Amino acid sequence: MFEIVFLGTSASAPSIHRGLSAQVVIHDEYRFLIDCGEGTQRQILLSGLGFKRLNRILITHGHLDHILGLAGLLSTFSRWETIDELEIYAGQWALERIRDLLFGVVLRGARPPMNIKLIPVQAGVIFEGDDFSLSAFPVWHRGADCYGFLFEEKNRRPFLPEKAEALNIPPGPWRRDLVNGKSVTLPDGRQVNPDEVLGPVRPGTRFVHVGDVGRTEELVEICRNADGLVIEATYMSDETEMAREFAHLTAQQAAELAKRAGVKHLILTHISRRYRERDVLAEAQAIFPTAAVARDFDMFQIKRDTEVIRSVVRETSA
C-alpha cells in the first residue's frame, strides 16, 4: 500500500485554499516528499507529518513553483538539525537550479547542516526499498529533464499456513525460507519446495506520480493498470490551446489518459485558481467517473484491488 498526503495542490501561484506543489508518499517507514513549492514546510507542520524521516525528496522538474520551498526547508533544518542526510533526486537541469538555490543563496559558503546529496535522475530504477522499487521516467514539459515517478511493490506469493500444517512443517526458520522462495530440508529429512506452500503470485500495488506534463502519449504504457495515478490538470478543455502552449494538460486529457491506460484511480492536482474545483471535477468525471481532485491535506490510500480510501489529515475550508 502507498499513502499520499497532498500538501500543495495549486498550479504556478498559491491560492487562498491551495499551496504550491508538494506531496508526501508513504510506504512503511519510507517517506518521499515529491516537489517542494514555496511554503511547503508550513504545510508539513499543519499536516502533522513532521520533519522526521523526511530525508528523501523527489523533484519532478526545476520550475520555481516546485522547488522554491527547498530553500526554507534547508534553512529550518540548519537550526533544528533533525536529520543527518538529505537526498534530493532530480533531473540534471533541475538539480543545477537547486544547487544554485541551496548552495548559492541559502548557504553562501557556509557548511550545510547535514550531508546534502544531489542525485541526478535518469530513466530507470532510482531507489529500492525492502519490498518496493521506485523508478523515474521522462515526461514532456517545458525545459529538459522532467520526470515522473513510479512506485511499485514487488510481486508476492502468499504463504498458505493450512498447506504448511498439512505437510507438518514445524515452525521456525524452515517456514521463513519457504516464504523467501527457498527449498528446505526438514529435521526429519524431507525436502519441501516453496511451490508446495505458496499461493499464486499476487501483483504488488503500482502507483504513478506525474508532475507537470504537456503530452500523454508516452505515459500510457507506464500508467497501464496502475492502481493509482496522480497527475496535473492545470487547464480545462476550453483552454486546450493555452494548455498546449504552456505544456500542461486539461482535466479532460488527464482523464483520457487514465481511461486509456486502465488506471484504477485518478487523482488530479496542480489546479489553477482560475477554475472552480467542481468544474474541473465534472470535466474529468465525464470521462473517468471516479476521478478525484486533490485538496491540500487530503490523504489517499492506494492498495491493489481495493477502493481508494480518501481522508483528510487536516480540515480546511476549501
Query: Which residues make up the interface to Zn ion (CB under 5 A)?
Result: 63, 65, 212
Other C-beta atoms closer than 10 Å to the C-beta of 314 total: 14
Per the CB < 8 A criterion, the answer to whether 105 and 71 are in contact is yes
Cα–Cα distance for residue pair 229/19, rounded to 1 Å = 20
Indicate if 65 belongs to the active site: yes
Per the CB < 8 A criterion, the answer to whether 305 and 265 are in contact is no
| Cβ 1 to Zn ion shortest distance, Å | 28
Per the CB < 8 A criterion, the answer to whether 24 and 52 are in contact is no
Taking the least distance from each CB to Zn ion, the nearer of 153 and 212 is 212
Taking the least distance from each CB to Zn ion, the nearer of 44 and 59 is 59
Exposure on the CB side of residue 7, measured as CA atoms within 13 A: 26
| Cβ 64 to Zn ion shortest distance, Å | 9
Helices marked H in the chain: 40-47, 64-67, 69-80, 92-99, 161-166, 173-179, 220-223, 240-245, 251-261, 277-285
| Cβ 21 to Zn ion shortest distance, Å | 6
Residue of 28, 35, 65, 212 marked catalytic: 65
Taking the least distance from each CB to Zn ion, the nearer of 144 and 286 is 144
| Cβ 146 to Zn ion shortest distance, Å | 8
Taking the least distance from each CB to Zn ion, the nearer of 65 and 283 is 65
How many residues comprise the chain? Answer: 318
Active site residues: 65
